[in-house]
Amino acid sequence: MKFGWLSPVIGNQWSDHKPIVMFQERNILPTALEHFDSLWIADHFYGFDAKTDPFMEAWTTLTWMAAKFPDVMLCHHVLGHGYRPPALTAKMAATLQVLSGNRFILGIGAGWREDEYAAYGYDFPKPSVRFTELDELLQICKLMWTEDEPSFTGTHFSIDGASAPPLPEVVPPICIGASGEQIGLPLAGRHADIWNGFARGTEDDWRRKVDIVHTAASDAGRNPAAIEICQTVENALPETDAEAQELLEKLARKAELGVTYFVMDFGNPLTTDHVLRFVEQVQMPLRAS
């Protein structure tokens, strides 16, 4: 059982319009990350309330955090692949993998926020095209992380001798955020080391999604059990024994349904007073089980 900490990059009315991640870097994460496996940063360009609210760019922020916290894995939650060209994504990932000492996870998806793409002048094709592009991007990344002068020609993207030295000693794991049963989940089964899926719907809906990922992995000659099943959980830090027990039961049920990796979004805690309560009353029992 693994746990990631999602640090919000937004600054809104509840944080005095100052990026929450900057407050957490100074006041929360030095304590919290001693108990977490990874740190996650969202990839958007502006917020969801007012466009003038501060919102930190994801690659820059994660690189800054990599230097601040040298003992945790690092992942985006998740990159919109259309925001950066594939070869550039591969090169940036290889560089951060080397600089961080092999702690980078490429968290990526097909993108969904059409207004943001339009605002920045990026194309936003239909889902089937975006996922085909994502598939080609992942093929390009794997080539550029392992070969000196790789070439690739796809339907949407191509490279010709796209060198990315220094090649990483450890190929970055790939986390795919997807929920579509026809295209996204099979893609995760073919490529993902970690699948980050939405928990919407019934438990039977979730079981079906996991089965689609596993079946696609088997069809691609991969070991389905090697894919970590990940969910993001939005929940305030528990402040009482009763709240901790309620959260424990909630996560334990998800674990029974196959979740092996929880990315915790605690919002904007102002102190570390309740971090150890979560660790001792929720995290430790789940790890032990």
For 55-85, the pLDDT digits (tens) are: 999 999 999 999 999 999 999 999 999 999 9
Report the C-alpha gap between 59 and 1 in whole angstroms. Answer: 26
Average pLDDT for the chain: 97
- Expressed as residue numbers, the domain containing 17 is 2-288
Report the C-alpha gap between 204 and 240 in whole angstroms. Answer: 32
Report the C-alpha gap between 53 and 146 in whole angstroms. Answer: 40
Whether pTM > 0.85 for this model: the answer is yes
For residue 48, what are the contacts with CB-CB under 8 A and spacing of at least 6?
10
- H-type alpha helices, the chain: 20-27, 29-32, 58-68, 86-99, 114-119, 127-146, 184-191, 203-219, 241-256, 275-278, 284-288
Q: How many domains does the chain have?
A: 1
The CATH number linked to 196 is 3.20.20.30
Q: Residues 193-220: pLDDT tens digits?
A: 999 999 889 999 999 999 999 999 999 9
Distances (CA, A) of 151 to 132, 162, 167, 184, 222: 18, 7, 15, 25, 24
Smallest CA-to-CA distance from 64 within 29, 110, 34 is with 29
Greatest Cα pair distance in the chain = 59
